[in-house]
Structure 1
């Protein structure tokens, strides 16, 4: 059962050890799994999704891939094939600070996806990008090893796993 972001905020907002941060409401849900969460792996890249494919091809162990795509609105960093790959490899979802494509198909895949918007153009394929670096967008800094929880009401990040 997925934890609700509203309940997490109510329970942990005043607990310093949780370091709970709520992202500014700028992401749109596209995946077939509206509620998802898990330990974070970060990627920082720009208009190039080769590293996204590399990570989603590896075992995800229920984790969430957080991609800082620089907020680019010029191409998509994730589509239906990569979402299906992530689902098959045990990732719970992806947060994309950039665009996705194949939105109708994404809605049918049991994989969480939140992104800025859609764009039909595919990304470059140069293999550039950094893994496990701190990324900052939507008013929050996120590191690999943080825990992220997403649902219809938003996205929250904590320094550790949270329970209710």
Structure 2
């Protein structure tokens, strides 16, 4: 699917939400879109790893990691699993690592920053609930569009590409 977030915004201004411009591109695909799968976790990437090990069906994992800059929640091994499982991308309100490897993967990745420190795995976190960050609430199933201009979110029932 070919799209530009700027064009989608112009066409559907009152039907889309725009994320605050906090994110950097780390993946090999700068533009990606899909239905949102949500995770809420803090300095524990158990739920992220688990979700991305499942079939992605061209969806986007939206992970609220609390905006922590203290550790990375996604690295090359988990991202490789996401690619193998067919995920379109990851929007991470937190950090990544292994950025050179991420840049070469067929996956969109938007995150706040890079940090070489790995996260802990304590089995904590929640999945499939509304998460809010960057001025936007993401609900499971919302449609997410991301490119070099930013991130747009549309309610599942208002998928702009329909």
Measured against the shorter chain, the TM-score band is: over 0.9
Distance 1:2 1:79, change over 3 A: farther
In the other structure, the counterpart of 1:163 is: 161
**Runs of 4 or more off by more than 6 Å in structure 1?**
none
Does residue 92 of the first structure (1) align with residue 98 of the second (2)?
no
Range 113-122 or range 80-89, more displaced: 80-89
**Deviation of 1:25 (Å):** 0.3
Hey, what's the Cα distance between the residues in 2 that align with 1:2 and 1:112? 14
Equivalence map 1:132-143=2 (5 Å) = 132-143=128-139
Hey, what's the Cα distance between the residues in 1 that align with 2:43 and 2:59? 23
Secondary structure of 1:104 counterpart: helix
Contact in 2 for aligned 1:2/1:36 (Cα 8 Å): no
- TM-score, normalising length from structure 2? 0.96
Q: What is the root-mean-square deviation of aligned Cα atoms in Å?
A: 1.0
Equivalence map 1:23-102=2 (5 Å) = 23-102=19-98
Deviations 1:31-70 (A, max 9, x none): 0000001000000000001111111010011000000000
- TM-score, normalising length from structure 1? 0.95
Hey, what's the Cα distance between the residues in 2 that align with 1:44 and 1:85? 19
In the other structure, the counterpart of 2:13 is: 13
Deviations 1:125-162 (A, max 9, x none): 11100101111110001110100000001000000322
Secondary structure of 1:47 counterpart: coil
Structure 2: gaps spanning 5 or more residues: none
Equivalence map 1:108-147=2 (5 Å) = 108-147=104-143
Structure 1: gaps spanning 5 or more residues: none
